[in-house]
Amino acid sequence: MKFNYIYSMAMNKTFFDNLITGIRHEYTAHPGQDFDPAVLQALMSERPKKANISQKKADSLEQLCSNVRQCDSCPLAKTRHNVVFGEGNVHAELMFIGEGPGNEEDMQGRPFVGEAGQLLTKMIQAMQFTREEVYIANIVKCRPPNNRVPSPDEIAACINYLKAQIQFIAPQVIVLLGATAVNALLGCNEGITRLRGKWLEFEGIKVMPTFHPAYLLRQKSAKRQVWEDLQQVMKVFDRVYRS
């Protein structure tokens, strides 16, 4: 009897903690908007289930991360300062994938923390997400010297780590940043100008290709096209929130 009471109190605490976190998240993600009753319903029914799954995911991702940290499958291992595994919410619904770490990322061991990374953070915020809510990764986990494009062999050595990451996180949408990311993940060979803005698919997950933020730093006029692409992604989440 006593056990049942304590158990039910603990379950309620988790339930309400999750509910409060979810409601805070909604208010932060959509400031000034009325709270949609359908969202509340979804939070009340789904959050506790998700918490269990996410715990398992974190354990498995940690294991994967420690494997990647020891990887020496390609020559990039010799010149790296740090492996840049990826970071963010392990149960993110939105994932961004770039090409590979640059100098700043290599020094810090974190993805997208240099100038292009700061622009990516702004893009994420413009989409009404925070950097902590999404997951950010790269095609290759070690810096190619002088920021050159990773070679096909380097991509082949690394791509399964990314595919495993995607499986663990299971996002609803992936945004692929630049041609290298699209061609490496989807196994095609197309220019990003042709690919961007059109929905593609990877193992049942919706994929939106767009220009890489590093390109936007050089070509400011392309920001408008990127914003159009990102708005298509935002619509997916609006539909989920309001249905």
CB closer to ligand URA out of 100 and 171: 100
> Which of 98, 144, 171, 209 is the binder for ligand URA (CB under 6 A)?
98
What token pair was written down for 222?
């392309």
Sheet with 200-202, edge to edge strand ranges:
87-88, 135-138, 94-98, 173-177, 205-210, 200-202
> Can you spell out the DSSP letters for 45-72?
HHHHHHHHHHHHHHHHHHHHHHHHHT--
Task: Report in angstroms how near the CB of residue 133 gets to ligand URA at its nearest.
Answer: 18
Q: Where are the alpha helices (DSSP H) in the chain?
A: 2-29, 37-69, 76-79, 103-108, 115-126, 152-169, 179-186, 192-195, 213-218, 223-242
Do residues 178 and 219 lie in contact, with contact meaning Cβ atoms separated by under 8 Å?
no
Give the interface segment with ligand URA, choosing from 35-43, 98-106, 158-166, 185-193 (CB under 6 A): 98-106
106 binds ligand URA, rule: CB under 6 A: no
**Which residues neighbour 27 within 8 Å (Cβ) at sequence distance 6 or greater?**
35
How many angstroms separate the CA atoms of 63 and 195, rounded? 34
CB closer to ligand URA out of 102 and 209: 102
Draw the binding track, 138-167, toward ligand URA (x: CB under 6 A; -: no contact).
x-----------------------------
The residues facing 235 across adjacent strands are: none
CB closer to ligand URA out of 171 and 178: 178
Give the interface segment with ligand URA, choosing from 54-62, 97-105, 156-164, 203-211 (CB under 6 A): 97-105
Find where tokens 């767009």 sit.
Answer: 210
88 binds ligand URA, rule: CB under 6 A: no
Contacts (CB under 6 A) with ligand URA, residues 114-133: 114, 116-117
Phi, psi of 109 (to 5 degrees): 75, 20
86 binds ligand URA, rule: CB under 6 A: no
> Which of 22, 101, 171, 209 is the binder for ligand URA (CB under 6 A)?
101
Contacts (CB under 6 A) with ligand URA, residues 12-71: none
Question: Binding residues for ligand URA, how many (CB under 6 A)?
Answer: 13
Angle between helices 37-69 and 152-169 (to 10 degrees): 140
CB closer to ligand URA out of 47 and 110: 110
Contacts (CB under 6 A) with ligand URA, residues 168-227: 214
Phi, psi of 187 (to 5 degrees): 65, 40
102 binds ligand URA, rule: CB under 6 A: yes
Find where tokens 């663990």 sit.
Answer: 168
Which chain residues interact with ligand URA by CB under 6 A? Answer: 98-102, 105, 111-112, 114, 116-117, 138, 214
